[in-house]
A and B are shown apart, each in its own frame.
Chain A
Amino acid sequence: MPRRRKSNKELFLNGIFNENPIFRLALSMCPAVGISTTLMNGFLLGIAVLFVQVFSSCTISLIKDYIHPRIRIPTYTLTIATWVTVIDMVLAAYMPAAYKQMGIFVKLIVAFAIITMRLEMFACKNDFVPSFWDGLGMGLGFMFGMMSLGFVRELLGMGKLFGHDILGFRPLLFFVLPAAGFFCVGIIMAVFNYVEIVYKRIRERRWKRGYS
């Protein structure tokens, strides 16, 4: 049975909300906990992941006919590693301060499960244009997750956004601590779960009412 092909807009939005890599799929948690202390960090790593995701999705969708199925995973890994090397060198050259703060995480984009998963599930079966939109949506979803974590942690921890003073005081210094990353992710995940539970309850009620 041929599945209905999703439109480009649906593919794009899918990555951001329904299959948000951080909060829904719970993949690539390490950077989400490790360096989401400020909004800027989240934004920069999001850009890096977006770049790698889009370019490797496009590359794989272009060369998918020439890859032997037996060696597809190593091929994906090497493709990702190539693009990570590119973004790593670009960041090191043009943004040395931010690069230093992000530390080893830029290089570790290679090991993010989310990118490999998208290549395996989508890019190797679809054409260039849908792969591009899927990669863009997933990358933006990751960026959205990172930035929302950075937003919460920087606002609550330092009272600042992008380094500018917003609140004028520090509500909860605890959130600046590296360990608070775990709490923050846990709590935001719980919020997502709560929304899902409430949504399900409303739908059930509506279904019952329609039945009676």
Chain B
Amino acid sequence: MEKRLFLILLLILSITGGCKKEHPFIKKVAFKGESAIEVHFAGPVDLKWAKDKGNFELYEKPDPDILIPIKDVELSENRLILMIQAYDELNRNQEHIFTLKNIVSDGRDLGTAIVSVKKLYFGIVFNILIAAMLIQNFVFTKYLGLCVFFGTSRRKSTAIGMGITFTIVIVFASMMSWFLYQFVLKPFNLRFLQIIVFIGLVSLSVQAVDTILRKINPALFKAFGVYLVLVIANCIILAVPLILADNEYNAIESFMLAFGAGLGFLIALFLMSSVRERLELANVPPTYRGLPIAFVVAGLFALAFMGFSGMSLF
């Protein structure tokens, strides 16, 4: 079993890994920092060729008409590594196409190379997960699902139960709606029906999880069944399918976004409930008792979560 899992992992990595190289002279192309691309050559290239900015063209794969202006080209001492500096920050989640015209090495013309630069696919997917969980936390930075958030964050046990139930349901529901959007709504040009279809699908999947859980694991159902009704009232569960439809994510990315959204909600609920359990012992002014103080605490959390903005792990 473990061996098979390992093989599958290897397969995925080998399919998705790394940057493509189409030219035998280029060994490696990768992003360097926020706004640069690094090219490794197999042999030393000529300095004169490298200094001519007209030899390089860079654009994002979806729009080949918009060339990204190149600010500076640097060649390393041993003339093996070329660094292209762009004026603006490069969108590293997007695949870039980089053209090197007529590479000259020791006076010989080696022809034009067109290479694509992209991040490791694993990196992109992991970034989506982290972004949904922390950087773009649905509760504290997108302000969604607040009704349920304030309703179920009074006790730690309730918060954990709600968080786990929500994660299961949202993964289930958004995978189903992704499937329906990609294979039914898009081919038949029915995109304007997405709101109606998604809300129906969400209620259906909540009902399905309810039925399945009741049959398979009655003990678990007893613990978590109460929260299933509340899940429908949460806007995050509708927001995630809409975001998936807008961004045209594929299956793995969709799974990661949904999972991250669920985990982010769990984290937010847990943090909030820990504070609110303490607050019950505190001496709060009578006008602020109950929801108002909870809102102020949530505001402090939101300020803290702003610290995550701009974070990028890969």
Contacts and interface: CB of A to CB of B under 8 A. Distances in A.
Interface of A: 26-30, 33-34, 74, 77-78, 81-82, 84-85, 88-89, 104, 107-108, 110-113, 177-183, 185-187, 189-191, 193-194, 197
A186 B301 CA distance: 14
B168 interface: no
Contact of A111 (B192, B234, B243, B295): B234
Contacts of B47: none
Contacts of A189: 291-292, 295
Q: Which of B199, B243, B299 has the most CB of A within 10 A?
A: B299
A108 B147 contact: no
Given A26-B150, A29-B150, A179-B302, A187 B192 contact: no
Contact of B195 (A28, A81, A193): A81
Nearest to A84: B195
A88 B243 CA distance: 15
A28 B291 CA distance: 14
Contacts of A84: 195
A190 B299 contact: no
Interface centre among A33, A81, A182, A183 (most CB of B within 10 A): A182
B299 A179 contact: yes
B239 A181 contact: no
B286 to A, nearest CB: 6
B292 A81 contact: no
Interface size class of B (residues with CB under 8 A): 35 or more
Nearest to A26: B291
Contact of A110 (B192, B195, B288, B290): B195
A186 B297 CA distance: 9
Nearest to B148: A113
B242 interface: yes
B195 A85 contact: yes
Contact of B296 (A28, A177, A183, A197): A183
Interface in B266-314: 286-296, 298-299, 302-303, 306
A120 B243 CA distance: 29
B242 to A, nearest CB: 6
Interface string B105-145: 00000000000000000000000000000000000111111
Given A85-B196, A179-B299, A111 B287 contact: no
A107 B193 contact: no
B15 to A, nearest CB: 33
